[in-house]
């Protein structure tokens, strides 16, 4: 993503010490903006890795329950049957594409989030990014999710199909054998059968999930961070435990707000449905009831609090470490 060269209005230029060339200062400050974007990218990747390692088993349960509710009446039953028939390894099906998805998504997401924060800062005429309120940060998250959706959709497609491979085989009549296929072979198969557009099946439901979802995600996180900040301290000084709690609240806000669209996305990607998103939602409500749109919400909320807490902990502290290592102040 090309970053716009920052333009500083005269009223926002600092009072430079005697002997400092303003033009040289501008060049240095522009360079620091690029470094900050790279730091956000790297910290986002660290957060994505932490998110997967903590939350993958319950994410597998969520996808199975969303896609095949006729097989599983509860998340506990789904968990037991997965262990019995696939072993503990079955809970980590799709981990490689999940890592790829989360690293790709969160790298782009947090990099774009930093850029969008600066855009919102400029529009709202706020002095510093750190002074943006929860609503402004939520808006920046909404805009950033548009860009991260393009990196997320293909890897999420592979992950969901691998997680539901056994159930898909059962529906196809293969009761005794389950396809043994890895992420790379599955990717090649989709490209061969459906072309490059097949990798972006479910992109519209992904937009519908990600953009409003990340509005609530970053809004919930920043609101909770502000609420947990002790008097006389900044949000960056709340410590690891409060950061985890704020991240967990942000994650719960995301999933509760967007779960029905996530059910639609999972079915489109796993079952290859080409039906209109609204039509498919109405069909599910008509044939399975409205609760089918919330199938798998329990394990998702159970997973998301610790996993998104770990995500933000890794993101915030990696960012602090990299800013310290590079000597570049957050801008």
**DSSP annotation of 3:** P
d(CA 264, CA 276): 10
- On whether the CB atoms of residues 256 and 294 are closer than 8 A, the answer is no
The full set of domain ranges for the chain reads: 28-325
d(CA 114, CA 108): 10
Give the model confidence (pLDDT) of 66-90 as tens digits: 777 778 878 888 888 888 888 888 8
3-state secondary structure of 67: helix
pLDDT under 50: residue ranges of the chain: 1-3, 5-13
Long-range contacts of 295-299 (CB under 8 A, 24+ apart): 295/65, 295/66, 295/69, 295/263, 296/61, 296/62, 296/63, 296/64, 296/65, 296/66, 296/75, 296/259, 296/263, 297/255, 297/256, 297/259, 298/75, 299/58, 299/61, 299/62, 299/65, 299/75, 299/78, 299/79
Please, which residues have CB within 8 angstroms of residue 234's CB and are 6 or more apart in sequence?
Answer: 130
**DSSP annotation of 172:** T
Q: Enter the pTM of the model.
A: 0.71
Q: What pLDDT sits at residue 9?
A: 46
Helices 95-124 & 134-163, crossing angle to 10 degrees?
160
d(CA 79, CA 98): 19
Q: If you search the block for the tokens 């719960």, which residue do you land on?
A: 252
Question: Which architecture does CATH list for 28-325?
Answer: Alpha/alpha barrel (1.50)
Give the model confidence (pLDDT) of 247-256 as tens digits: 999 999 998 8
Q: What pLDDT sits at residue 293?
A: 85
**Would you state the structure tokens that stand for residue 184, as one six-digit string?**
């790379």
Q: What pLDDT sits at residue 70?
A: 77
d(CA 209, CA 262): 6
d(CA 213, CA 219): 10
């Amino acid at each position: 993503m090309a970053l716009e060269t920052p333009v500083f209005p005269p009223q926002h230029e600092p009072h430079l010490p005697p002997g400092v060339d303003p033009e040289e200062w501008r060049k240095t400050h522009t360079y620091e903006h690029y470094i900050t974007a790279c730091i956000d990218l790297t910290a986002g990747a660290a957060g994505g890795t932490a998110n997967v390692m903590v939350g993958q088993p319950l994410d597998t349960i969520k996808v199975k329950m969303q896609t095949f509710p006729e097989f599983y009446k509860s998340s506990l039953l789904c968990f037991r049957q997965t262990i019995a028939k696939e072993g503990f390894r079955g809970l980590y099906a799709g981990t490689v594409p999940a890592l790829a998805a989360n690293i790709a998504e969160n790298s782009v997401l947090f990099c774009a989030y930093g850029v969008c924060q600066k855009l919102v800062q400029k529009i709202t005429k706020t002095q510093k990014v750190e002074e943006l309120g929860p609503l402004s940060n939520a808006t920046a998250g909404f805009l950033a999710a548009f860009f991260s959706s393009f990196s997320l959709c293909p890897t999420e497609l592979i992950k969901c199909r691998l997680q539901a491979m056994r159930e898909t085989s059962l529906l196809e009549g293969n009761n005794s054998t389950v396809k043994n296929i890895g992420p790379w072979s599955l990717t090649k198969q989709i490209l061969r059968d459906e072309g490059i557009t097949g990798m972006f099946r479910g992109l519209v439901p992904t937009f519908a999930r990600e953009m409003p979802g990340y509005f609530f995600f970053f809004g919930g996180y920043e609101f909770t961070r502000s609420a947990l900040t002790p008097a006389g301290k900044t949000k960056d000084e709340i410590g690891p435990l409060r950061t985890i709690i704020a991240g967990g609240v942000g994650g719960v806000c995301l999933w509760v707000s967007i779960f029905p669209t996530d059910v639609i996305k999972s079915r489109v990607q796993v079952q290859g449905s080409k039906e209109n998103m609204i039509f498919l939602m109405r069909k599910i409500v008509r044939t399975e009831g409205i609760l089918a749109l919330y199938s798998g919400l329990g394990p998702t909320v159970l997973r998301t609090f610790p996993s998104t807490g770990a995500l933000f902990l890794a993101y915030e502290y990696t960012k602090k470490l990299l800013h310290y290592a590079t000597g570049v102040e957050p801008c």
